[in-house]
Chain A
Amino acid sequence: MTRKRRRLYLVVGAMALLGVAAALVLTAIRDTLVFFYSPMELAEKDIPPGKNFRLGGLVAEGSVEKLPDGLTTRFVITDLSAEVPVLYRDLLPDLFREGQGVVAEGALNPEGVFMARQVLAKHDENYMPPEVAEALKKSGQWQGAAETE
Chain B
Amino acid sequence: MRWRSFIPLALFAALAVALFVGLDLNPRIIPSALIGKPAPALDLPPLPGKEPGLVAARLRDGEPTLVNVWASWCGPCRIEHPQLMALAEDEIIRMIGINYKDRQANALRFLAQLGDPYEAVGVDATGRTSIDWGVYGVPETFILDGAGRILLKHVGPIREEDLEEKILPAIAAAKRGTEP
Query: Measuring CB to CB, which residues of chain A are less than 8 angstroms from any residue of chain B?
Result: 61, 99, 101, 125-128, 130, 133-134, 137, 140-149
Q: Which of B30, B76, B153, B156 is close to A137, meaning CB atoms less than 8 Å apart?
A: B30
Nearest B residue to A149, CB-CB: B76
Question: Chain B interface (Cβ within 8 Å of chain A)?
Answer: 26-34, 74-76, 101, 127-128, 131, 133-140, 153, 155-157
When distances are taken between beta carbons in the complex, the residues of chain A under 8 Å from B33 are 140-143
B101 adjacent to A148 (CB under 8 Å): no
Q: For residue B32, which residues in chain A have a CB less than 8 angstroms away from its CB? A: 142-144
Contact of B28 (CB < 8 Å), options: A128, A142, A147: A147
Chain A residue numbers with a CB within 8 Å of B74 are 125-126, 148
Q: A142-B32, A144-B32 are in contact. Are A137 and B136 (CB under 8 A)?
A: no
In the complex, A133 Cα to B137 Cα: how many Å?
12
State whether A134 touches B27 (Cβ < 8 A): yes
29 contacting pairs across A/B (C-beta < 8 A): A99-B128, A101-B136, A125-B74, A125-B137, A126-B74, A126-B138, A127-B137, A130-B26, A133-B27, A140-B33, A142-B31, A142-B134, A143-B33, A143-B133, A143-B135, A143-B153, A144-B30, A144-B134, A144-B136, A144-B140, A145-B27, A145-B30, A146-B136, A146-B137, A148-B75, A148-B137, A148-B157, A149-B76, A149-B156
Q: How far is the CA of A145 from the CA of B30 in the complex (A)?
A: 7
Q: Which residues of B contact A130 (CB under 8 A)?
A: 26-27
Contact present for B156 and A125 (CB under 8 Å): no
The distance in angstroms between the C-alpha atoms of A61 and B137, with both chains bound, is 18
A99 to B124, CA, bound (A): 14
Nearest chain B residue, comparing its CB with the CB of A142 = B30
**Residues on B with beta carbons closer than 8 Å to the beta carbon of A141:** 33
- C-alpha gap A138/B29 in the complex (Å): 13
Contacting residues, chain A, for B134 (C-beta < 8 A) = 142-144
Contact B30 A148 (CB under 8 A): no
Q: A142 to B101: give the CA distance in the assembly, Å.
A: 21
With the chains together, A141 CA to B138 CA distance in Å?
19
| Central interface residue in A101, A128, A143, by most chain B CB within 10 Å | A143
Sample of 4 further A-B pairs with CB below 8 A, known A137-B31, A143-B34, A146-B155? A101-B136, A127-B137, A128-B137, A146-B136
Q: Are the C-beta atoms of B153 and A148 separated by less than 8 Å?
A: no
B101 contacts which of A125, A134, A140 (Cβ < 8 Å)? A125
4 smallest CB-CB distances across A and B, nearest first, come from: A143-B134, A146-B137, A144-B155, A146-B136
Q: How far is the CB of A6 from chain B (nearest CB, A)?
A: 14
Q: How far is the CB of B116 from chain A (nearest CB, A)?
A: 22
B131 touches A99 (CB 8 A): yes
| Shortest distance from the beta carbon of A138 to any chain B beta carbon, whole Å | 10
